[in-house]
Amino acid sequence: MKITFAGNKKVKVQVKDFEIMTDQSKEHGGDSSAPTPIDLFLASLGSCSGVFVLNFLKQHNLPETVYLTLEPEWNISEYVIDKIKVFIHLPPGFPEKYENALVEVAKRCLVARHVKIRHEISVVRDPE
């Protein structure tokens, strides 16, 4: 991954053959032209849970009108998210026998599992 700067508060991330832009809100000095890094973090968690849910729906020939929403709970004094609730919204008539399994499969999300692990993150200057 390569991170570069693209003007004002915009940050560009090169991931393999993809480019991801982030920005800050106008109230934080940005242009609000792209998601913030924390938005991408939450999107990563949601899309990861979503892919597990989608695979389950496809596997069982269930309607793909299911959707997920995330509700972060901020700890304002620490300025961090303490809790994240992932809600699975089912369409009317969704078979009840699959509801608990759908919740369990969403919990397999690799991003969520990685968040639970304490990581050592080093920030160092490249010696070159």
Instruction: In whole angstroms, give the CA distance from residue 13 to residue 17.
Output: 11
Q: Which residue has the tokens 């560009």?
A: 12
CA distances for 10 relative to 5, 20, 23, 30, 112, angstroms? 6, 10, 4, 7, 26
Question: Domain containing 94 — which CATH number?
Answer: 3.30.300.20
The total domain count for the chain is 2
Question: Are 44 and 79 in a shared domain?
Answer: yes
pLDDT, position 128: 77
pLDDT, position 89: 97
Question: Are 52 and 101 in a shared domain?
Answer: yes
Mean pLDDT of the chain: 94
pLDDT, position 114: 85
pTM of the complete model:
0.85
Question: Are 59 and 76 in a shared domain?
Answer: yes
pLDDT for 43-102, tens place per residue? Answer: 999 999 999 999 999 999 999 999 999 999 999 998 889 999 999 999 999 999 999 999
pLDDT, position 26: 96
pLDDT tops 80 at residue 119: no
Give the residue-averaged pLDDT of 114-128: 81
Residue 106 token pair: 């969403």
Question: Are 58 and 118 in a shared domain?
Answer: yes
pLDDT tops 90 at residue 27: yes
Q: Which domain holds residue 6?
A: 1-34
Question: Are 45 and 89 in a shared domain?
Answer: yes
Question: Are 94 and 63 in a shared domain?
Answer: yes
Question: Are 62 and 123 in a shared domain?
Answer: yes
pLDDT, position 115: 82
